[in-house]
């Protein structure tokens, strides 16, 4: 039960520097707890209330809009160097509520809840009438494109066999008929050139992730698979990722269909945030 | 025709609403 005067909040300007600092700390927290999809950047602070907190400090209660970047959450690139996904690429927005404690000059997030949603088809069409929209990740063409691209990557790979972790986004392009996919992969204890049964391969204890972009184009009598994967340095127990390895690219013709892999994760629009306090 | 000159309103500092804040990229 409160003693003395009731706690009252103040409402600073949403663009107040201290409010922005709290929002940036919250977005950093969000990105460090996302386990799939892409990092998000701060777009707009919708609302802010600042509550006194006993015995010390203040709590910022924030409403924040974010935008999806092109950096996958496994990509160690600093957020400041990640570009925002443009409307023509079918942007994805995040809508977040945060509570951020400021104490002794330090910000720490005590509550986070975010939902994300893709921009409307109408908005994309307004900017780019011919641009492909985001496709369902369980579309058979998407599933096949990811399988074919990963198989093509593993065939050209002299190291570990890589498994699919998630399909992150996909677009169906009408002309030329092709499927664009982006997906995350992880190294296993199998050697790519020797793998007989991918189901028996296990992820390495020191997780080594990668991120791939691929286009599978329908051709007469087959298809062309163009895939580029960036493999990141292995992650020790404390996740402090280092700069990325050189990019590996292959461009090969592959006869459909490729081998089976684990199912894709939920749609790109789903955003999973780690433990809430 | 002759028209009366308009009465100028008081010009003061523009007060922006405190929230929402600026859009950094674009609005979805």
Q: Give the tens place of pLDDT for each residue, A17-49.
A: 999 999 999 999 999 999 999 999 999 999 999
Mutate which: A17, A24, A67, vs B, most B CBs within 10 A: A67
The predicted-structure confidence for B1-28, as pLDDT tens digits, reads as follows 566 665 555 566 767 679 999 999 999 9
In contact, A224 and A253? CB cutoff 8 Å:
yes
| Mean pLDDT, rounded, of chain A | 87
To 5 degrees, how large is the angle CA A39–CA A43–CA A48?
115
Q: How many CB atoms lie within 10 A of CB A272?
A: 14
Contact A13 B19 (CB under 8 A): yes
The predicted-structure confidence for A51-104, as pLDDT tens digits, reads as follows 999 899 999 999 999 999 999 999 999 999 999 999 999 999 999 999 999 999
Alpha-carbon distance of B4 to B13, in angstroms, equals: 27
Q: Calculate the CA A41 to chain-centre distance.
A: 11
Which residues on chain B are in Cβ contact (under 8 Å) with A44? 20-24, 27
Assign A7 a pLDDT band (cuts: 50, 70, 90): confident
The count of residues in chain A is 277
Question: Secondary structure of A48-66 in the HEC alphabet?
Answer: EEEEECCCCCEEEEEEEEE
Is residue A165 over pLDDT 50?
yes
Give pLDDT, residue A236: 79
Which residues on chain B are in Cβ contact (under 8 Å) with A87? 26, 28
Q: Which of A11, A44, A92 sits opposite B24 (nearest CB)?
A: A44
């Amino acid at each position: 039960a409160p003693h003395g005067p009731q706690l009252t909040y103040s409402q600073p300007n949403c663009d107040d520097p201290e409010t922005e600092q709290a929002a940036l700390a919250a977005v950093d927290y969000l990105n460090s707890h996302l386990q799939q999809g892409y990092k998000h950047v701060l777009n707009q602070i919708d609302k802010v209330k600042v509550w006194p907190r006993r015995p010390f400090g203040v709590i910022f209660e924030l409403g924040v809009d974010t935008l999806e970047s092109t950096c996958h959450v496994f990509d160690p690139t600093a957020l400041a160097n990640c570009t925002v996904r443009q409307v023509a690429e079918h942007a994805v927005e995040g809508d977040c509520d945060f509570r951020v404690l400021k104490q002794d000059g330090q910000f720490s997030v005590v509550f986070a809840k975010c939902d994300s949603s893709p921009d409307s088809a109408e908005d994309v069409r307004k900017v780019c009438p011919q641009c492909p929209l985001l496709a369902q990740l369980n579309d058979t063409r998407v599933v096949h494109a990811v399988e074919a691209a990963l198989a093509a990557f593993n065939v050209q790979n002299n190291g570990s066999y890589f498994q699919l972790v998630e399909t992150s986004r996909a677009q169906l392009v009408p002309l030329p008929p092709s499927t664009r996919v982006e997906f995350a992969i992880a190294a296993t204890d199998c050697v790519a050139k020797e793998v007989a049964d991918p189901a028996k391969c296990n992820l390495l204890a020191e997780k080594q992730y990668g991120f791939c972009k691929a286009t599978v184009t329908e051709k007469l009598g087959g298809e062309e698979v163009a895939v580029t994967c960036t493999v990141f340095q292995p992650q020790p127990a404390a996740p402090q990722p280092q700069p990325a390895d050189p990019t590996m690219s292959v461009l090969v013709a592959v006869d459909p269909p490729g081998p089976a892999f684990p199912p894709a994760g939920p749609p790109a629009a789903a955003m999973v945030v780690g433990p809430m306090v | 025709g002759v028209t009366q000159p308009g009465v100028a309103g008081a010009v003061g500092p523009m007060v922006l609403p405190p929230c929402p804040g600026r859009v950094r990229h674009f609005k979805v």
